[in-house]
Structure 1
């Protein structure tokens, strides 16, 4: 059920500051799968997917307040009860809100490519992001990626293919209604769109040395509790 705050209903997950997030189980039903749209933009894919799959719970992550408010209004008008939104950085959300093995699928569609080489360090997709995605996915869960930026796509696909925690799967087919606003623009310009999918391998299939290294890196398995003093 969507989170409600007086005087109107909203699907936006409340927060008073960055470390004051509600516990994940208070927002999502553990008996139903959760899928996450990272950088959901104006919500075109998120809302179409949620409407087509009412038994799946969806989380949209978006930084921009006006976009979050717009999606929230559309959720309320559409009567969707399986959509939640969070206005935070994607990396922070994965690290401090999503528990281990809680997500069936991540969608990363048309992330900001930061095309200038000196800006590549600002890209979302890096080694820590891969670790967070793997640790938050259910065993066998997937990350689906699509972009128009061929160089960024090549970097992401190569990194995932070389990572023993993942194995390649087909990219999902999406209806026109499930194409993002950016994607519609790029397709109208006849720009190439590339996509891939990868599945998380279970920890039992990985070498003990790799698991030990991941543990040593200190990526938290669960969101920190308020009494842990996280700031």
Structure 2
């Protein structure tokens, strides 16, 4: 049974790596840096997790495995706190609200999100030593206490926008993609709710069943987002499409 769980875990991880890499690149080809880079960050996080799992039992590689796992946790914090809830949703707003940030704004989006992820990781008990004299401050303990709720609130906001995005798809007759987004939204919200608050019955100490479900859900969400994005894009009014192309060309010229 343990062998089967390991195989399913590795398969789900590879699925997420493939989805994040492929569709991240496809979003970049559509000149949507926000969605493209966030998908690639998810793929990098999953890659670190994969090699961490493969190396943990190899003699002499335990330290490397722990480093890779730490990298995965940092990028996971990035995506849960703002990567998907803010950056990816801002990327979807290219279609829903004709939002096309400047290159400087995009850099600020990512810089601020990486800084926030760094704080969220630093306040964990095992990492507080890097904070020096502030390690046991009231603020650090307060951030650690509210961190699970912060992640849940941020993902819930993401779910609200995904529901709106699905509604926009239904409005233009793309019912299949609308339902795929709603399905992915419900699954991802379930994972976000379980993450810090519940344990799946029968799961092991490494949370293998949870990781199988989470990795598979995020991979499905990535795939569903790309094809739903394409579906809404091809149904935009001609004036909106022209405005979108004009904004992208203007931004490219400025860069």
Give the alignment's TM-score, normalised by structure 2.
Answer: 0.28
Give the alignment's TM-score, normalised by structure 1.
Answer: 0.30
Which has the higher Rg, Structure 1 or Structure 2? 2
Structure with more relative contact order (C-alpha pairs < 8 Å, separation 6 or more): 2
Structure with the larger strand share: 1
